[in-house]
Structure 1
Amino acid sequence: MIDFAFLEEQREDLRLNFLLAKPFSHLVIDNFCEEEKLLQLHAELPEIQTKSRDYVFAANKFEKSRIKDISPLFAELYNDLTSDRFQTFLRFVSNEAVFVDKDFHGGGIHQGKKNSFLDMHIDFNYHPLHKFWYRHLNLLLYLNKDWKVEYGGHLKLKDMRSGEQKSIAVPFNRMIVQLTGKYTLHGYDLTHFPDGMYRTSIAAYAYCLHQNHVEKPRTTDWHPQDGSAIKNLLARIYDPAVKMKNKFFGSSTARNQ
């Protein structure tokens, strides 16, 4: 389903685009998949019922990590995203020995329903279930058929070091490969999709294998932009609270199958 011929033919340019992008390394690839197949897959999209547990930092965001059992087309896309061929491409573009998490922990289908938003945040760094897997890339394939600018939902990027920002549109069949790190803020503002349309993406994450922790392990680090005193307080206590909850009750993200 992925247009590998295009990726491999353009890989030198795509690598430069990724490494030189501002505010931090990212890559926008349009027509990432074969159009007809992706349109057929879009017609098979289920409505996701499992709500994200991001609480006050997100609204109406639903997730399902296990996509390969939905249909043969979803299985084909899953197999392409986890294939050696795609990982070889990602390693060349990012100049890192990355691999895609085949369990799609925290990934899979993401649906932002009516009035959805996702506050600016930094992703967890080490995989909750694999101690030395360091998260290096977000892979976001957008399925927003007939998307219009006024619907919103643009992916917002901000470098915490420089303050530089960028907003990226999220139309159908666009893949965004985004560096993740301790300064790579991202999120999206309140959406205005018509009734029955959702901000939809398929997310996968690529990791590097570390021999030791080079950063202190963290969960999602929230940086809400609305200035709410309550949100700012909750953001400060979120990491230790989630770590404590996971220690005793396990990861709820892992159960969003």
Structure 2
Amino acid sequence: MKFIDLSVSELHDLAKSRRADYLSAEPFPNTYFDNFFNAEKLSEVLEEFPDLSQNPDLKYNDANQIKLASKGEYRFGEKTREFMHFLNSQPFLEFLSILTGIEALIPDPYFDGGGAHQILPGGLLKIHADFNKNKLTNLDRRLNILVYMNKDWDESWGGHFELWDKEMKGAVKKILPIFNRMALFTTTSDSYHGHPDPLRCPPDRSRKSLALYYYTNGRPEEEITDAHSTLFKARPNEKAGKSFKDIIKQLTPPIIYDAAKKITK
């Protein structure tokens, strides 16, 4: 396969060998792989990473997040599109299912919330649990993949991907976002994670990643909750901000809010 130097059978064997570690990881099932992809091919993807800073529609700036994110695949270059399609392909989905135990994974060809992500100096993404339903398909969000694209990343710059316990007492794991590192984790309504401290990289650098989300039609009964958007959580001695959407929901009578949601779907 073009983007990885493994056959399908070798990819399956790798997934089997890491499955127990993935499922037993704290604070929720997770792992990461270094040098998983062909470095030359991934470098070609990095070369065409889109400049997200020039489009105000791609900026998120509120109390909980200061970041840039693409929408859909139309800003992808040719190699990026090919790479992202590979990550939504049958061989890779089979690898993910064997590794995580989540069967019949469904990719998101619309990259709703996924795609190219970029955080500039001073940016952050506070600790949160992800939205649990795809607004287009109503499928259940089950798995996140983050492919980091940052060459020669200095640890003093921060940007660690943090995984927090359910009680929000502290980070159980911190993952440095270095080039060709792929992090993945099972998503539930209490799989709290983020990049909560302002980025300290030089002005000419940024934290780049490619994000992909995977879904199923239904989820285990013990994980079922009402549909929700991103749930931000405060760290100890920190006050969680409310998103604009949350504020509108809080101020709007439920009947009117629900009716508006149906109209805008």
TM-score range, shorter chain: 0.7 to 0.9
**Unmatched 5+ residue regions in structure 2?**
none
Q: What residue in structure 2 maps to residue 205 of structure 1? A: 213
Contact 1:117 1:190 in 2 (8 A): yes
Residues in 1 aligned to 2:135 and 2:227: alpha-carbon distance in whole angstroms: 9
Instruction: Describe how 1:1-257 pairs up with structure 2 within 5 A.
Output: 1-3=2-4, 5=6, 7-48=11-52, 49=55, 50-53=57-60, 55-59=62-66, 61-67=67-73, 70-97=76-103, 98-131=105-138, 133-161=139-167, 163=169, 165-188=172-195, 189-210=197-218, 214-225=224-235, 227=237, 229=239, 231-232=240-241, 234=242, 238=246, 241=249, 244=257, 247=261, 250=264
Residues in 2 aligned to 1:52 and 1:19: alpha-carbon distance in whole angstroms: 35
- In structure 1, give the amino acid aligned to 2:80: F
Q: Which moved more, 1:181-190 or 1:49-58?
A: 49-58
What is the percentage of aligned positions where both structures have the same residue? 27
Change in Cα spacing, 1:115 to 1:236, as seen in structure 2 (3 Å) is closer
Helix, strand or coil at the partner of 1:56: coil
Helix, strand or coil at the partner of 1:37: helix
TM-score by length of 2: 0.83
| Deviation of the 1:226 alpha carbon | 6.7
How many residues end up aligned between the 2 structures?
A: 247
Pairwise CA RMSD of aligned residues?
Answer: 2.8
Larger Rg: 2
Helix, strand or coil at the partner of 2:26: coil
Contact 1:18 1:26 in 2 (8 A): yes
TM-score by length of 1: 0.85
Residues in 2 aligned to 1:223 and 1:236: alpha-carbon distance in whole angstroms: 16
Contact 1:139 1:177 in 2 (8 A): yes
Change in Cα spacing, 1:84 to 1:155, as seen in structure 2 (3 Å) is same
Deviations 1:130-164 (A, max 9, x none): 22x11111110000111110111100001215846
